[in-house]
Structure 1
């Protein structure tokens, strides 16, 4: 009898031990804190949640001019944060002038100037801006595009001077915002600002309101390393072809997927994917704001954008919206890899869609830095180059050059190297050793 009880007790203990060990295995998480090989997660291209339009419709830098003091920032918390306090503003009047003589911000009692400069990478519709800001206006907003706003904070009430990229027109929008209130908001982000400087490239950029601004001496900027993963071509075609029968061909290195109503191509070397809706054309009678909204809604419907994307360009002639990925506030460019999301929207539906089929998935720890030249030295070297015309330079900023890693490993590694980028003759180009590439 005792022997049977002993067996039962041992069997019971074995069952309990097995249950405890099973639980420990299932719940076990390895501890790597002793080794500095952490990989930090980051947002993925094309796998994001639904976004607000204001997260992509944003400026790339904010400059604060106070007399002889010039400070600027690219940090999103400051550039976007300031505008969050301007909602429910009322536009009391807005007029468009075909010369720059109306660009006349007020001066303070001591005779000094104080204004903000909000710079966008290309011309944007004013209607899109006012929607993001939540401004109200009793009249009909004009179809006017701008790439810079001069915000007058020396006068009692804030006035927006919206300049077009050619510096030939200015829209003057008077608001009910107290300048002292806006200035107090800007001062809360003062730690985000660094020394900026304005440079002159031609007669139109010869004053402190139209000059080209950038960090005066950026010094050493970090080189970033990220892992990448590929998005399946079949996944994209399933989303866009909507059941259309697909015939696959290969033309050199490019794969061609053709259906009755749809066509797509994919280059595995650059990860570039292009989709065309064969039932649509580019003709449209909508204004730019409406087209951008439809483009954004399409991308938002399948997670085609991330918070790090910025509406970087809009071409009205082709109804083309371009969204560029940003990293640490800097726009990402590449000569090797597809780096932008673009849409062309027709009269009734999407006409063309281009994007990279890759995810930037995780950051790899890295201590590398690169020293960048002073902004004035960049201007000087462009001026010395006999093959370049300094007068064709309209913007200069720091960006990241995205490249494949030269190191052969099992990891798909991308390098992001800081570089100066110049908008030259309406095209963004990388500055390197005195030339543009």
Structure 2
């Protein structure tokens, strides 16, 4: 009898244990919050929601000159944030002058000057700027291109002096903006400003309003790493070729796609996709503002742009708009991988369209940095280089050089290395050990 009771006790314990284990399995919830990952997600580049024209039509740096104190910033929050408070401004009058004698900002009571400098990477139409700013003007805006704005804040009301890249013309626009109001907005972003230096490269950049500005001594700047994937070429072809039947040929790493009135190529080594509409021509009677707007609308409808893109250049002769990706406020360049979006607009539709097929996926944190030489050293080394002409330098800024990391290439790891970039004779080039490449 004792043996039977013992068996019953063992059986009861097993049943209770089984029931307890079953409850624990059913009620278990993994504690994901305790899992640590070293990869951070990033925004989807070129495949997300449509972006606004205001976002891509922006400057690359803002400079605040108060007497001899020069401060500047490339942070987008400051560069874009200031202009957001200007919508609804009335332009009282605007005139274009063919000499720089009209570039005369007011001075304060103590005899010093205070003004802002807004720098764009290349010439942009004034009409595009006024659309972005939401300015009102009863008259007809002039067809005028500029790449720098001097914002006079020493007088009671703000005056815009818009300079062209050749520095031989200036458009003067008087506004109803209260200078003290604009200054109060700039002061909200004061923490994002750092010491800037102005350098002289030729006679036209010899004063504090036309000098070339950049961070005085940037020091150590982080190297960034991102994982990458490839966009589908077939998807892009389906969108651009519509219902055309496509024939495909291959020559080493270049694929050629041909339709009845379209042709496209894709390079698997540079991740560059290029499309041509054979039914279109480049001749166009539109002004630059209209062409830029139509090109932007096309790209936006194809979700080709991201919030990080900036309208970096426009070539009026070829109706070409070029968009460059930015990271941490710095423009991204590359000799290794296609990284710009360019579009040429014809009479009625897109004529040529080039884009990268490489998508940046996730940020991989790291502790690598690169020390950048002071700005004044850049000017000095270019001046010493017998193969270069300092007078051809029109802009200097910090950017990222994008390329595949030497290690872990099987992960398609992209490395973004900070470098100085110089606009030399109209072309952006990387500065390296006294030379431009």
Normalised to the residue count of structure 1, the TM-score between the two structures is 0.94
1:257 matched to which residue of 2? 257
CA distance, structure 2, for counterparts of residue 349 and residue 32 of structure 1: 53
1:282 matched to which residue of 2? 282
2:43 matched to which residue of 1? 43
SS of the equivalent of 1:410 reads helix
SS of the equivalent of 2:85 reads helix
The size of the alignment, in residue pairs, is: 425
Instruction: Indicate whether 1:433 and 2:433 are aligned.
Output: yes
Deviation at 1:207, TM superposition (A): 0.1
Deviation at 1:21, TM superposition (A): 5.1
Deviation at 1:394, TM superposition (A): 0.2
* Mapping of residues 28-67 of structure 1, within 5 Å: 30-33=32-35, 35=36, 37-67=37-67
Conserved? CA contact 1:47–1:303, under 8 Å: yes
1:200 matched to which residue of 2? 200
SS of the equivalent of 1:263 reads strand
1:335 matched to which residue of 2? 335
CA distance, structure 2, for counterparts of residue 56 and residue 49 of structure 1: 14
CA distance, structure 2, for counterparts of residue 419 and residue 68 of structure 1: 27
CA distance, structure 1, for counterparts of residue 130 and residue 121 of structure 2: 17
2:241 matched to which residue of 1? 241
Instruction: Indicate whether 1:119 and 2:119 are aligned.
Output: yes
CA distance, structure 2, for counterparts of residue 344 and residue 208 of structure 1: 36
2:105 matched to which residue of 1? 105
* Mapping of residues 264-413 of structure 1, within 5 Å: 264-413=264-413
CA distance, structure 2, for counterparts of residue 283 and residue 433 of structure 1: 43
SS of the equivalent of 1:86 reads coil
SS of the equivalent of 1:79 reads helix
Deviations 1:35-78 (A, max 9, x none): 4x421111222212111101000000000000010000000000
Deviations 1:206-236 (A, max 9, x none): 0000000000000000000000010011011
1:4 matched to which residue of 2? none
Residues 140 and 421 (structure 1), Cα distance of their counterparts in 2 relative to 1, 3 Å cut: same
Runs of 4+ aligned residues of structure 1 deviating over 3 Å after TM superposition are 20-24, 27-33
Conserved? CA contact 1:45–1:358, under 8 Å: no
2:8 matched to which residue of 1? none
* Mapping of residues 79-158 of structure 1, within 5 Å: 79-158=79-158
Cα RMSD (Å): 2.0
Deviations 1:359-386 (A, max 9, x none): 1111001011100000000000000000
Q: What are the ranges of 5 or more consecutive residues in structure 2 without an aligned counterpart?
A: 1-14
1:420 matched to which residue of 2? 420
Q: Compare CA radii of gyration and give the structure with the larger one.
A: 2
Q: Which moved more, 1:129-138 or 1:234-243?
A: 234-243
CA distance, structure 2, for counterparts of residue 171 and residue 409 of structure 1: 50
Conserved? CA contact 1:277–1:352, under 8 Å: yes
Q: Which moved more, 1:249-258 or 1:340-349?
A: 249-258
CA distance, structure 2, for counterparts of residue 194 and residue 174 of structure 1: 29
Deviation at 1:124, TM superposition (A): 0.2
Q: What are the ranges of 5 or more consecutive residues in structure 1 without an aligned counterpart?
A: 1-9
